[in-house]
Amino acid sequence: MIRFPIRADGPVAHPGPPPAACDVAVIGGGIIGVATALWLARAGVKVALLEKGRIAGEQSSRNWGWIRQQARDPAELPIMIEANRLWRDLAAEMPGLGFRQTGVMYLGKTQADSARYEGWLPHAQAHGLDTRILTKDQIAALLPHAEGWTTALWTASDARAEPWAAVPLLAKAAEAAGAIIVEECAVRALDLAAGRVGGVVTERGRIACDRVVVAGGAWSSLFLRAHGVAIPQLSVRSSVAVTEPLPEVFAGGAAGSGFAFRRREDGRYTLAPGSFHEFYIGPDAFRALRPFIPQIRADLSSTAFRPAAPKGWPDAWTTPRRWDADRPGPFEAMRVLEPAPNLRRLETVRAGFARAFPQLGEVKIATAWAGMIDTMPDIVPVVDAAPIPGLTIATGMCGHGFGIGPAFGRIVADLVRGRDPGHDLTRFRFSRFTDGSKIELGPWI
């Protein structure tokens, strides 16, 4: 049975009702919001997780399913190492996550590829990670019959899981721990009292609380800007395909030569066009242009620019930037952001995968979809208190959210509770875009 991403027409698993009051309201039912709610509930905090559509309906069920430590930003790496451990612990509780430590490999053909991989090794070595560079013969031992690759970055302890299954299971675990989860309950606005959080206004009534976490993925910037909190977050479309069942050529995840793939629990492969993504130009593109200039200069080739986002998308030209909290707004107008996939690009990916592994025979696509990745100028998220007292931001995961989600959820839960998160979060501070700091890009591997 093919497992699709979670869609707007799927059943409501968490109907509510919403509470009249709670300690913490979490806005957004993706991996970050779900993990935050899980750790808060297990700490005895009365938490309500509010999702406008479906739990994991957007990028959290549409991603590649990689749990990757290698090639992370140095500031993210210790957090990702914790996430890897947390995934193992959670998988022991919930076997249905599809968690497997089958490794991740970045494949290369040139000296420049090898130099990039070598350049990241000191970060791995500093944290005792098992990352290493592979020779052509070592690659062949792991990928029999594959041709053309001469170098690779390989981390055997990296892993995979099934996004469509994992995030809903984590949500059930949060609910079992005491979290209140409500789908089809869009938060229209913060309810502010004397300049600080006093609650949230939802389509199903007001909820009193003194702490709120915004983990809305591609929708976070739109929500925050309506409250005077500006972050330079943009979103890009990433397309994904799933093959018909095929023999196993590699049990983990790998990327190279314009495509990426991952073995799935159902005997198929998830395919994607590597780092390629598509950006739809909207008002935020102009607001955020300056901080994004270093990223544009560093790697323009992996981005295809499109003239305008479809109606209802977070940064569409017609999407309202202000709305009346007493009436339906943009979050109710689009319960689940379901972009159409780029089928032409996915055909190129399919053909490249088939050429790389000729022993597979005919490779057929069973289905395809796309998701919107929330991204930041320096390719790392914002995880920090907002200028509004009582408000915490956890967004802009830049395509890394699924793998790192359990750890960032634990960190956000500690931040909300006023506890030491156990990691240096300076890199992820809200103020880095306003305090004159230079934009420092994460690794381009």
pLDDT, tens digit (0-9, with 9 covering 90-100), for 320-347: 999 999 999 999 999 999 999 999 999 9
- How far apart CA 262 and CA 18 sit, in angstroms, is 38
Sequence letter at residue 11: P
Domain of residue 178 covers: 24-433
| Whether pLDDT at 268 is above 90 | yes
Provide the residue count of the chain: 445
Beta bridge partners of residue 189, listed in sequence order: 201
Average pLDDT score over the chain = 95
| Whether pLDDT at 275 is above 90 | no
Report whether 2 contacts 366 (CB < 8 A).
yes
- How far apart CA 22 and CA 296 sit, in angstroms, is 42
Q: Give the per-residue pLDDT at 146.
A: 75
C-alpha 153: how far from its chain's center? 22
pLDDT band of 298, cuts 50, 70, 90? confident
CA angle, corner 170, sides to 27 and 50, nearest 5?
Answer: 20
Q: Tell me the per-residue pLDDT of 93-103, one tens digit each, with 9 for 90 and over.
A: 999 999 999 99
The answer for residues whose C-beta is within 8 angstroms of residue 95's C-beta and 6 or more apart is none
pLDDT band of 445, cuts 50, 70, 90? low
3-class SS shares of the chain: helix, strand, coil, % to 5? 30, 25, 45
Looking at residue 408, the DSSP 8-state letter turns out to be: H
Q: Does residue 17 sit within a domain?
A: no
Most confident stretch, 241-250, 301-310, 353-362? 241-250
The encoded tokens of residue 132 equal 């290493």
Cβ neighbours of 248 (radius 10 Å) = 9
- How far apart CA 244 and CA 269 sit, in angstroms, is 8
Q: Does residue 422 sit within a domain?
A: yes
Q: Does residue 7 sit within a domain?
A: no
Q: Does residue 11 sit within a domain?
A: no
Q: Tell me the per-residue pLDDT of 367-402, one tens digit each, with 9 for 90 and over.
A: 999 999 999 999 999 999 999 999 999 999 999 999
Q: Does residue 442 sit within a domain?
A: no
- How far apart CA 52 and CA 244 sit, in angstroms, is 33
The answer for residues whose C-beta is within 8 angstroms of residue 208's C-beta and 6 or more apart is 20, 21, 22, 191, 198, 199
Q: Does residue 409 sit within a domain?
A: yes
| Whether pLDDT at 205 is above 90 | yes
Per cent of the chain over pLDDT 70 is 99
Q: Give the per-residue pLDDT at 169.
A: 98
Q: Does residue 83 sit within a domain?
A: yes
Cα–Cα separations (whole angstroms), residue 254 to 20, 78, 373: 47, 22, 20
Q: Does residue 19 sit within a domain?
A: no
Q: What is the phi-psi region of residue 418: left when phi exceeds 0, alpha when psi lies from -120 to 50, beta otherwise?
A: left
Backbone angles phi, psi at 248, to 5 degrees: -85, 125
119-138: average pLDDT: 96
The SS3 of residue 348 is helix
147-175: average pLDDT: 96
Q: Tell me the per-residue pLDDT of 402-430, one tens digit each, with 9 for 90 and over.
A: 999 999 999 999 999 999 999 999 999 99
Backbone angles phi, psi at 90, to 5 degrees: -65, -35
- How far apart CA 272 and CA 261 sit, in angstroms, is 6
Q: Give the per-residue pLDDT at 147.
A: 73
> Among all chains, which residue has been given the structure tokens 């500006």?
230
CATH number of the domain where residue 314 is located: 3.50.50.60
Task: Name the more confident of 391 and 356.
Answer: 391
Sequence letter at residue 17: P
Beta bridge partners of residue 40, listed in sequence order: none
| Whether pLDDT at 248 is above 90 | yes
| Whether pLDDT at 1 is above 70 | no
Q: Give the per-residue pLDDT at 313.
A: 96
Q: Count of domains in the chain?
A: 1
